[in-house]
Amino acid sequence: MIYDPLETRFLREARAAGGKTIDGLQMLLAQAVAQFETWTGLEAPVDTMKSAALFLAQEQES
């Protein structure tokens, strides 16, 4: 699970070969949502969590 960089050579090549890909940030987000809901019993604010994760990933690239 790699989320830095978001777009790896492996992902590019897999997509070019017709494969369906999911980047590491999407996997990290899915795990975070599941953990949030398990621990709190509340519905996770998925859009907010995704925005925060993308913001942080982009900050690290800068």
Helix, strand, coil content of the chain in percent (nearest 5):
65, 0, 35
Q: How far out from the chain centre does Cα 17 lie?
A: 22
Give me the pLDDT at residue 6, please. Answer: 82
pLDDT on residue 23: 87
Q: What contacts 37, CB < 8 A, 6 or more positions away?
A: 43, 44
Domain ranges of the chain: 9-61
Tens digit of each residue's pLDDT, the chain (62 residues):
787 788 899 999 999 999 999 888 888 999 999 999 999 999 999 999 999 988 988 887 77
